[in-house]
Every structure is written in structure tokens, then in C-alpha cells.
Amino acid sequence: MRTESDKNTSAKNIKLCDLDEYSLGHVFLFLTVVDLDRCILVCRKFQHIIQKFVFPKKCSNALVAGSDRSCGISLYSFTYRKRVKLNENWLHGRYEERTYFHHNVMYISQMMIDREWLYMTHGGRLQAHRRTKNKYMLDTKIQWMVGNVRESDITSLAKEGDRFFAGRMDGRIMIYDHDTRQCHLQEVTNDIIKSVDFSRDVYAVTTKNDATYILNRSTLELDLLDSDSHDMLVPSFAYPEAYETLKLNSNRLAVGKFHCSKNQALQLIDLYSCKIIQLNSVTMAVYDTLWKDEHCILAGNFDTTMRLIDTRTGNDESCWTDPYNASVYCLSYNGAYAIHCGVKFHYRANLYDLRVPNRCIQMYFPSKRNNNYSPVYRIAADCSQMFLVTDHNLRILNFDADWAATKDYVSI
């Protein structure tokens, strides 16, 4: 029979590589990419476990780089290992910064991105710039444009496929189909248009003081329309409320007021019943909204919070507060867990995790220029880059920069 001393001796002789694959995989999940790279060199067993199990598992749980949506709009096809490394750079604040399109006069551009293009407005012009794989990340040469700089400013922009929908300060809307290269202007109101959105053939427009309009695409063919005598969009309903922001999701419209003394600034409009539903999110003003999914809304608010609201209950399910009491001006959601917020001061952007309520995961402070302390008015991101629109320029932060200095502000 084995004595107690024999058992102790055999236990002491057990090495890490003697553990089963499940146990080793669990241990490796707690290591950084640098440590995992070292472990891969130990033996083929470690290499197999890390490459086939650990990196895919860590990637699926990654906050930013784990989203298939954000990777789908990236120019690069990153490996699992690279995506995990990118996620570490996001969490620790390692990035390289570039500044583009500086203009001395304060102006708020509208901005959107997809896999190959950056779409940006300047005055009344919508222009497209090609994203590149070199260190500059962007070709500043305009590849195509619609409209004229001296026309009324574009105040809001929405995109679906190759179709663009924009609202202007003079109360007109612009519909541009890049596939057919056809552009249509239509007057909706005499008021400033604050926000627009559309889904298929349903279009929503809200103004600064007037009302909110729901329009439907005309049955006339686009090539038969005469912009001087026919309207492409036909008004179907008008709500006597003006809002700061709106987002359309199928038959429901999430809307937020610029100011509400009753602290009921967030509402929901059902387009089928034409009813306005009051949500129980206690906030005085809503600056931006997003649909997380078919039931949940994300809202950036004047009261320095970002909230998750479930439309089935009408209540706030989670709330995140800015560490420095700055209003949340804009939102970007990556389709998984990460929410990027542009806030009021110092060009700052915050990163939040839907799995971790009321905690800021990281803050990003792009470099200051000329003692300007601009808000971030528009924000967009893929798995490796973040785009920020400020008072006087566009900032791009590239997190595929392992050599960059760490700027960790989460604990200050």
C-alpha cells in the first residue's frame, strides 16, 4: 500500500504540463497576450491549447474587439490573437493619434464610417474619403461628393446601404442614392432640422421648434421624379412635438427632448398606433439615442449619464455616470458589449461595458490644440480605430499600436 509520504511525494512531482487540457485552458484565460506568447514556446501541448481554445475564448469575451459587427467594418481581417491584443490596447489606453480637416471657424461635421469609407459633411456638402491601411489611416482627397459647401449646413445624417438621408438648417432634406448617383432635395419645414433617420421606405424628421414628421417613399420611380415638381417622400403623419434626437427601429421611434422640466425627456412613438409612449427614464434632456436591440434603447443625457432603457418595462435597467460630471453628447455601440461615449469637455471619449453597470472602463483624452476644450459631437469606432468629431477637426485614434505609450485614466 502507498503511504501518506508516497502520496505527498507524487503530488509534488506533478508539473503544470501534466494538467488536463480543460484545466490548462482555464488557467491560460487569465494571462495576457505577452505571457501567452511565452507559453506557446514551452511545448506543442500548450501551443495547441492556446491557439485552438484560449485565443478564441478570450476573443469572444473581449469588450471591443470581440464584436463581429465592429470587425465587419474594419479594413483588416485580424486573427484571434491580434483581436485580443487590440482589446488590451483599448483597455489600457494604447493608441496613436492623427488629426485631419482642421478648420478655424467652429463647425460640427456629421460623420459615419463603413469598411472602406469615411463619410463626412462640410457645410452643405457630403463627401467621402477612402480609408487606408497605411499609417495615415485616411486619404484626405475627396473621392466623391454631393452638394456644395456654401449651401445650408447639413445638421443630421443617416445611412442605410448605399442610400444617404440628410437634414439641413433651411428645413430641407436630401436623399442621395450612391448606387444610381441620384440626389433629391425636398422641403419639409421652415424650421431647422435637428435629426433624421430612416428604415427602408419609412423616414423620420424632427425640427428644432416645429414638429416631428413621418414620411414614406413615393410610389413613383426615382428616375421619373422631377425635383422641381414632385416630392420623393410623402408625409404620412406629423407629431406636434419637436425633439433633439430620434432613432427609428422598424415601427418604433425613440425620441429625446432637448429640455423637459418634468424630467421625462425620453419617449417612444409607435408608428402603427401613432401614439407617444412616455418612458420612465428620469432625465431632463437627451442628446443622443441608439437602439441596442429591438427592445432596448441607449440614451446619452445632459445629466452626465448614459442609460439603458427596456421598452417593455419603460424603466432604466442600467445607468453609467461620467466620472467628471460631463454631459454625454454622442454614442456608438459595437453590437456586443462596448459603448463609446463622446462627452462635453476636453475632446474626451469614455468606454463602457454593458456587463459592468456604473463603471467607466477607460477614458481617452486626445491632445489639446490652442487651449481648446471642445466636446466630442460625433463618434464612431471599429475594432481598432475610433473617430471623433470636435469643434475644429476630426481625430482618429488607432489602437493597432502596441508600441504606443499607455494612457490609463480609469483610476484617476
Residues 223-244: tens digit of each pLDDT:
444 444 567 899 889 999 999 9
Residues 135-193: tens digit of each pLDDT:
999 999 999 999 999 999 999 999 999 999 999 999 999 999 999 999 999 999 999 99
- pLDDT at res. 2: 54
Distance between start and end Cα atoms, the chain = 60
Separation CA 67–CA 404 (nearest Å): 23
Separation CA 94–CA 328 (nearest Å): 23
Checking if the pLDDT of 315 tops 60, the result is yes
Average pLDDT over residues 39-64: 93
Q: Is 175 left (phi over 0), alpha (psi -120 to 50) or beta?
A: beta
Q: Name the residue among 152, 129, 133, 251 with its Cα closest to residue 199.
A: 251
Separation CA 130–CA 59 (nearest Å): 28
Average pLDDT over residues 204-228: 75
- pLDDT at res. 131: 97
Average pLDDT over residues 236-253: 92
Residues 63-106: tens digit of each pLDDT:
999 999 999 999 999 999 999 999 999 999 999 999 999 988 88
Cα 391 to Cα 110, 169, 201, 347, 398, distances in angstroms:
12, 18, 33, 9, 20
Q: How confident is the model at residue 9 (pLDDT cuts 50, 70, 90)?
A: very low
What percent of the chain shows pLDDT beyond 90? 79
Mean of all residue pLDDT scores within the chain: 90
Separation CA 96–CA 374 (nearest Å): 20
Average pLDDT over residues 302-325: 94
Residue 68 near residue 56 (C-beta atoms within 8 A): no
Question: Other C-beta atoms within 10 Å of 54: how many?
Answer: 25
Separation CA 137–CA 332 (nearest Å): 20
Checking if the pLDDT of 62 tops 50, the result is yes
Q: Which residues contact 252 (CB under 8 A, 6 or more apart)?
A: 268, 269, 270, 271, 311
Please give the domain boundaries of the chain with CATH numbers for all domains. 112-219+229-381 (2.130.10.10)
Q: How confident is the model at residue 252 (pLDDT cuts 50, 70, 90)?
A: very high
- pLDDT at res. 222: 47
Total residues belonging to the chain: 412
Q: Which residues of 291-328 are buried (b: 16+ CB within 10 A; e: fewer)?
A: bbeeebbbbbbbbbbbbbbbbeeeebebbbbbbeebbb
In 110-151, the DSSP E strands lie at 111-113, 117-122, 125-130, 144-146
DSSP state of 312: T
> Can you name the residues that pair with 321 across neighbouring β-strands?
305
Residue 285 near residue 256 (C-beta atoms within 8 A): yes
- pLDDT at res. 403: 93
DSSP state of 51: I
Separation CA 182–CA 205 (nearest Å): 21
Checking if the pLDDT of 5 tops 60, the result is no
Residue 262 near residue 247 (C-beta atoms within 8 A): no
Q: Name the residue among 121, 262, 131, 263 with its Cα closest to residue 193.
A: 121
